[in-house]
Each structure stands twice: as structure tokens, then as C-alpha cells.
């Protein structure tokens, strides 16, 4: 990572705004293609994913998993005493993991001769960026191409005034050093459920509120309803079609919330913490895009299939572009944008080929169409299911809940959707992603030899069940 004099003007082939998964991938790929590249990052290298999202969340969830396993140790012939999760130590470990990942980003950028500027990037015109830092003189730089990978931030809800102590976003929730007695989680999507599971594991009485009719409303109904049953069985309180009308923290540190329930009644709820996990909004407003003439659509940067904006040499990738807001999708878009700007003609991303994961226990992973999607499109399908309860590996490991559900086009037999609810789902999704990418049929998956005993055998069995159904 080259040091840069903050008082000189520099020209680059490519300037990347943001160093998250998309920005990092774009910078390294472009540098390896021989371009001179800079990255402008206002926070820590790695962006939200590395510092306050994907990585620390999974580190904390691993602590929850180890605690759960310790609690079940007697069934495996062991006596391991673990009365609680020490949140302070769990958070300390998670920050070490974050530091390691961030250093990895820094090292890779340095190795590929990418110049890094710390500061806030704004457009002066379509080729010039201003970099602002507190207490220092602004700098301007020009670039032949610009990739905007500025990410997103938690959505603000007027009736839920975040104070960072009692009413908080996931960022604050990732750093609590002690478990609150009660927590209200507003939002039944991936972020809300992962935080709910972590704090439930730590002994907190958790209530999840979701405005829509079911958790993970965009996932297959059978999966989301199955997950809801299992989370309720574990002790998490869940209310769907519930909306928070107001919330405030009193002097005693207790949050009082008024919730409109499914039946239209209003119910008062209390908790030491209320987590707002109701989605994210793009970081586009701070960029002064008007100066470059870049068009927005509902706050997101409008692009074509190759991530190109209405200004030919400016691209946008990741959360700020819209669509599924996933780190691996941002990385894939980075490849497309760099290849397009260097003379290639890459194919646009097919959202049906982007896997989705939720890291609770049991986990959820999916790719492609749900059964409801297929029905809405009027497609004739074959559906195959296989339960983990029938898996020798799942029984041996003590994770028998859940299933694999595969959806195939009835005419061609080609897989159009794959859904997993169960332990190890996020690892099994790789096989389903490859099957989708290669256009595999039910027969081909069913006839593929899978090692025994493995959880992946359940994938083969689901495909076989679709064939014989």
C-alpha cells in the first residue's frame, strides 16, 4: 500500500470508492490487469462486512455455537461446564478476527500496488474526486474510471430513535460486553435473526417483531415457516405482522415499545435493548453525484447489466447499486465492472445464481426460485425433499432438524431452486450453486456419488426423491 502525499494531485486509471468486498475485489483485479489504482476509504479497510458485518457476526455466532455444544456435551460422553457466554471475551475475540481480516485486505492492496487514501470521497466533476479528512486540507485526484462501492447503512425509522445504548443498530449490538435481560429485535431478516440467535444463546429473553407475514419473507415459505417453528421451540418469541408504533428509553434504561399486533390490538413491550434491523439504505447521498451527472433510482445508483452508470466511465457495485445486498454479489459485480472497463463484454449477473445464507441454528441457505416463485410464474415443477433426520451423519453429530428442498423444471429436469434448512446449510449451498450454474438436472444430481456419511448425501436424496415423485 503506497503512502501518498495529501497535498499533491494524482491521476489514476481507476479510483475505487470503498474497500468492502466489492471495492477490494475491483481494486485488486484492476491492478492485476495493469491499471494504476487507488482506493478511497473513510473507515477501516474492509468496509462494513469485515469490520461491523459479516465477519464479527460470524465470530460471535461461533461463540454461541461452542456454548451450545458445551451444554450438550453430556450426551456425547463428556462433562464440560459452561454456565454462560462471557460476552466481553467473545467480543474481544471477534475484534481480533476483524483485525486479522482487515490486515489481510491491507496486505493484498499493498502487494498489488494499490494506493489507499483515508477520507471521505465526493465528486467534483465526472472525473475528479475530492478527499476530505478532519483537520487536514482537502485533496483532489482524477481518474479515467471510477467505481462506486460505498455500501449501505442501517435504515433509520423515525419512531425508533437510535441512541446507541438502548435503541441500537447491529453495529452497537456487536459490541455489547454483557447480555441484556431482554431484547426486542425489530426485523425478521438475516441481520435481525442472527443477532436474535446470538443473544438468545447468551441468555437474553429475545422477542423478534416482523412486519410481514413470515420471517425471511423472500425465502421459500416451507423454509421460513420451518425456521420459525424451530426458533420458537428454542425459546425465542416471534411475532409476524407486527409493527412498532413507538419506542423510547426511560431514565431507568428500559425501552418501552408499543406494538400493533396482527389482530390490530396494541401491546406494550419492554426490554433493556431494542435492536433496529429493518434493512439498509445506500450510501449515495454523501457522494455529491449531481456534480458527475450520475442518476439515482430510489436512492440507489442506476446501472446497466455491466454495472455502468449513465456516465460511461463511472460504475457502481454492491449495496449502493441495489438488488440483493450481499458481499459475494458485490465481489461478482466488481469482476464484471473491471472486465467491462478493460474492453471485455461480461455477462450480467443472474440473480437466480446468487446464493443467500442466514447463519442461525439451524441455518438457512438458498439459491434460485422458491416454490412460490415458480407457481407465480406458472412453471410446472418437480420438488424433491430429504430430511436430515434420515442422515446418519446428522444423527451422529446431533443436528437432525431441517431438510433439503430442491426444485426442478418439470420439462427439462433442470434445477431452478435449492433450499436448505439445517446445520451445515451454508456449506451445502456451494454444491447447489454449482449445480445451478452448470444447469444440472435432477437425474444428474441423483446419480452423482456422494461420500458417506456426509450431510451432502441429503442433497442427492432430495434430487432422487424429485425424480421418483
What is the CB-side half-sphere exposure of residue 126 using CA atoms within 13 A?
10
Helix ranges restricted to H, 355-456: 371-376, 392-397, 425-437, 442-446
Phi, psi of 132, deg, nearest 5: -115, 135
β-pairing, 266-271 vs 300-301, is unpaired
Residues 6+ apart with CB under 8 A from 177: 87, 88, 91
Beta strands in 299-451 (DSSP E): 300-301, 314-316, 356-358, 364-368, 381-387, 403-409, 415-421
Q: Are 418 and 434 in contact (CB under 8 A)?
A: no
What string of DSSP letters covers 68-133?
HHHHTGGGGT------S--HHHHHHHHHHHHHHHHHHHHHHHHHTT-EEEESEEEESSSSEEEEE-
Phi, psi of 240, deg, nearest 5: -95, 165
- Give CA–CA dist 135/444, Å, rounded: 62
Q: Are 429 and 348 in contact (CB under 8 A)?
A: no
Question: Would you call 452 a catalytic residue per the annotation?
Answer: yes
β-pairing, 182-186 vs 273-276, is parallel
- Give CA–CA dist 187/200, Å, rounded: 15
What string of DSSP letters covers 36-61?
-EEEEESSSTTHHHHHHSHHHHHHHH
Of the residues 145, 166, 423, 452, which is catalytic? 452
Dihedral sign computed on CA atoms, order 189, 195, 199, 202? positive
Which amino acids are annotated catalytic? 452
Amino acid at each position: 500500500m503506497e503512502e501518498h502525499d495529501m497535498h499533491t494531485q494524482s491521476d489514476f486509471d481507476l479510483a475505487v470508492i470503498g474497500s468492502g468486498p466489492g471495492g477490494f475485489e475491483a481494486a485488486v483485479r484492476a491492478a492485476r490487469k495493469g491499471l494504476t489504482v487507488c482506493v478511497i476509504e473513510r473507515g477501516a479497510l474492509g468496509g462494513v462486512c469485515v469490520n461491523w458485518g459479516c465477519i464479527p457476526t460470524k465470530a460471535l455466532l461461533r461463540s454461541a455455537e461452542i456454548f451450545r455444544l458445551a451444554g450438550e456435551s453430556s450426551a456425547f460422553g463428556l462433562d464440560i461446564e459452561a454456565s454462560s457466554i462471557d460476552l466481553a471475551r467473545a467480543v474481544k475475540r471477534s475484534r481480533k478476527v476483524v483485525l486479522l481480516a482487515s490486515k489481510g485486505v491491507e496486505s493484498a492492496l499493498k502487494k498489488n500496488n494499490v494506493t489507499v487514501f483515508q477520507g471521505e470521497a465526493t465528486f467534483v466533476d465526472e472525473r475528479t474526486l475530492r478527499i476530505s479528512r478532519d483537520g487536514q486540507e482537502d485533496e483532489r485526484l482524477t481518474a479515467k474510471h471510477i467505481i462506486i462501492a460505498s455500501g449501505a447503512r442501517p435504515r433509520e425509522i423515525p419512531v425508533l430513535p437510535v441512541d446507541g445504548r438502548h435503541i441500537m443498530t447491529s453495529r452497537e449490538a456487536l459490541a455489547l460486553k454483557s447480555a441484556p435481560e431482554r431484547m426486542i429485535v425489530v426485523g425478521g431478516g438475516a441481520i435481525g435473526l442472527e443477532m436474535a440467535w446470538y443473544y438468545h444463546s447468551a441468555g437474553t429473553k429475545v422477542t423478534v417483531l416482523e412486519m410481514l407475514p413470515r420471517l425471511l419473507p423472500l425465502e421459500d415459505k416451507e423454509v421460513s415457516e420451518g425456521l420459525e417453528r424451530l426458533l420458537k421451540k428454542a425459546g425465542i418469541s416471534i411475532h409476524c405482522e407486527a409493527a412498532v408504533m413507538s419506542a423510547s428509553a426511560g431514565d431507568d434504561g428500559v425501552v418501552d415499545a408499543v406494538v400493533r399486533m396482527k389482530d390490530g390490538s396494541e401491546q406494550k413491550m419492554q426490554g433493556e435493548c431494542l435492536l433496529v434491523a429493518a434493512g439498509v439504505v445506500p450510501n449515495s447521498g454523501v457522494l455529491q453525484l449531481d456534480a458527475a451527472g450520475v442518476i439515482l433510482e430510489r436512492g440507489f445508483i442506476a446501472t446497466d447489466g455491466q454495472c455502468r452508470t449513465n456516465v460511461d466511465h463511472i460504475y457502481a457495485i454492491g449495496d449502493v447499486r441495489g438488488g440483493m445486498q450481499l458481499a459475494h454479489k458485490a465481489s461478482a459485480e466488481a469482476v464484471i465492472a473491471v472486465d467491462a472497463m478493460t474492453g471485455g463484454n461480461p455477462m450480467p449477473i443472474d440473480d437466480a445464481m446468487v446464493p443467500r445464507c442466514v447463519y442461525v441454528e439451524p441455518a438457512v441457505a438458498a439459491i434460485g426460485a422458491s416454490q412460490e416463485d415458480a407457481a407465480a410464474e406458472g412453471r410446472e415443477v418437480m420438488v424433491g425433499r430429504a430430511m436430515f433426520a434420515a442422515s446418519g451423519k446428522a444423527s451422529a453429530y446431533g443436528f437432525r432438524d431441517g431438510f433439503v428442498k430442491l426444485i426442478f423444471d418439470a420439462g427439462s429436469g433442470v434445477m431452478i431452486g435449492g433450499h436448505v434448512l439445517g446445520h451445515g446449510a451454508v456449506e451445502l449451498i456451494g454444491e447447489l450453486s454449482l449445480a445451478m450454474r452448470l444447469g444440472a438436472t435432477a437425474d444428474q444430481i441423483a446419480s452423482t456419488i456422494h461420500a458417506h456419511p456426509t450431510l451432502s448425501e441429503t442433497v442427492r436424496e432430495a434430487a432422487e426423491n424429485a425424480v421418483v415423485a
